[in-house]
């Protein structure tokens, strides 16, 4: 959805509807980790109106005549302004927007993540239908739940798997069958097409699922799996992402489970925006930080034994590399590391380019959402 909002082609295509007037785009993305107001209808409507008014500030008095008058009076009297935003009042502002002259009325709304809304889904459907009666265009997205499929069954729809199936097929083919180590397979085009087709169909358009499956199939290729074994691997993968994550966690070496849980918890904590604001810390922990926290857990006196002047660059690289290997092995690829600090280092073999440390983050936000569910 963000791609649609930000792609210049969206604006160009909307011009066939708006004519000479510039189309105005406003968007909102529900998120399961948002706070109460962010997951409400009031939050949705307020943000859409703000997004619109940010682009057309001159019409603010028209959309909110009473609030504008109250604000003007408060300014003159040097009094604080308190406003209670109610759903019905916000919808009325959209009605006023629809009555504006055409220069300001060509509005296209993009709303994503309806299934992550907190409240009665049927009420949300009714609110969106109310907006659709106005002179606006709407594009909404959600998981294929019955309440949304039934609520919007009279309008055009597109399944994600129908949209990105060609891209998934290309990705699977490039990653699996363009490799040099697959020559031993002696696979026919029919064999390869069957794997590509099965991955594409079972993915239901979820690219993260495809990525995880292809990663496992590549591991099979490294083990010289036959086509029959590759098909068996594919059949064992759950089609639901959460079930997939559970299988990955179940495969962890029991001796590392506590350490893995600590690593996930630290990554979850560092990704909390509230914590970053309060502590003024970087957006993500680094591999170097993970190494120290891991070592401190086993050797609480480590800090006392560290040199006062700090450690040299070579040691930093060693610590960071060790943390990277630990995280990869313990977390089974559910965390990824993005290099953030580079440098040149002299070795016995000459000068080499090194990564001092990387930022640690979840492979995808759905991994974090999964780890925060009650049964994990």
Q: Residue 40: name the closest of 81, 3, 90, 82 by CA.
A: 90
Return the minimum-mean-pLDDT range out of 150-159, 257-266, 268-277: 268-277
What residues have CB less than 8 Å from 248, skipping those under 6 apart? 212, 332, 333, 334
User: Tokens in use for 306?
Assistant: 């560290």
Write out pLDDT tens, residues 16-63.
988 888 899 999 999 887 889 999 999 999 999 999 999 989 889 999
Length of the chain: 376
The CATH number for 2-157, chosen from 2.60.40, 3.30.2400, 3.40.50, 3.30.310, is: 3.40.50
**pLDDT confidence of residue 353:** 54
Task: Please state the rounded mean pLDDT for residues 345-360.
Answer: 65
Q: Residue 113: name the closest of 155, 72, 142 by CA.
A: 142
pLDDT at 281 over 60: no
Q: Residue 271: name the closest of 282, 260, 258 by CA.
A: 282
Q: Give the pTM.
A: 0.73
The percentage of the chain sitting over the pLDDT mark of 70, rounded to a whole number, equals: 87
Measured in degrees and rounded to the nearest 5, phi and psi for residue 346 equal: -90, 135
pLDDT at 277 over 60: no
Write out pLDDT tens, residues 188-222.
667 788 889 999 999 888 889 999 999 989 888 88
The DSSP annotation for 14-64 comes to HHHHHTTSPPEEEEEE--TTS-TTTTSHHHHHHHHHHHHHHH-GGGHHHHS
> Alpha-carbon Rg of the chain, whole angstroms?
26
**pLDDT confidence of residue 98:** 83
User: Tokens in use for 359?
Assistant: 């930022």
Q: Are strands 350-362 and 107-112 parallel, antiparallel or unpaired?
A: unpaired
Predicted confidence band of residue 274 (pLDDT cuts 50, 70, 90): low
Q: Residue 172: name the closest of 214, 218, 126, 215 by CA.
A: 214
CA distance 293 to 275: 18
Q: Residue 346: name the closest of 309, 313, 310, 307 by CA.
A: 313
In the chain, where the domains are located: 2-157, 164-239, 254-371
DSSP secondary structure code for residue 187 in this structure: -
């Amino acid at each position: 959805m963000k791609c649609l909002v930000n792609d210049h082609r969206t604006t160009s295509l909307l011009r066939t509807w708006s004519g000479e007037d510039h189309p105005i785009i406003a968007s909102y993305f529900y998120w399961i980790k948002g706070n109460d107001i962010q997951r409400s209808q009031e939050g949705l409507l307020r943000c859409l109106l703000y997004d619109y008014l940010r682009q057309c500030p001159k019409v603010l008095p028209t959309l909110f005549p009473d609030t504008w008058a109250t604000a003007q009076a408060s300014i003159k009297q040097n009094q604080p302004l308190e406003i209670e935003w109610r759903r019905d009042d916000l919808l009325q502002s959209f009605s006023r927007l629809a009555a504006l002259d055409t220069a300001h009325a060509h509005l296209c709304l993009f709303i994503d993540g309806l299934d992550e809304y907190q409240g009665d889904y049927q009420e949300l459907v009714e609110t969106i239908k109310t907006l659709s009666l106005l002179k606006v265009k709407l594009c909404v997205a959600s998981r294929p739940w019955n309440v949304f499929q039934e609520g919007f069954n009279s309008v055009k729809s597109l399944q994600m798997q129908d949209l990105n199936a060609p891209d998934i097929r290309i990705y699977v083919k490039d990653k699996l069958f363009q490799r040099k180590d697959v020559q031993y397979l002696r696979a026919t085009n029919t064999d390869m097409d069957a794997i590509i087709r099965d991955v594409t169909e079972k993915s239901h358009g979820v690219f993260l699922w495809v990525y995880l499956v292809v990663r496992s199939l590549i591991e099979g290729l490294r083990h010289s799996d036959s086509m029959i074994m590759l098909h068996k691997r594919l059949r064992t993968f759950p089609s639901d992402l959460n079930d997939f994550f559970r299988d990955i966690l179940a495969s962890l070496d029991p001796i590392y489970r506590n350490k893995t849980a600590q690593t996930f918890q630290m990554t979850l904590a560092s990704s909390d925006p509230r914590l970053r604001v309060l502590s003024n810390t970087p957006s993500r922990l680094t591999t170097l930080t993970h190494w120290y926290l891991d070592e401190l857990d086993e050797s609480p006196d480590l800090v006392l034994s560290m040199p006062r002047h700090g450690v040299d660059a070579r040691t930093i690289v060693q610590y960071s590399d060790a943390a990277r290997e630990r995280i990869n092995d313990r977390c089974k690829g559910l965390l990824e590391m993005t290099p953030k600090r580079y440098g040149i280092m002299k070795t016995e073999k000459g000068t080499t380019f090194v990564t001092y440390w990387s930022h640690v983050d979840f492979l995808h936000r759905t991994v974090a959402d999964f780890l925060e569910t009650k049964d994990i």
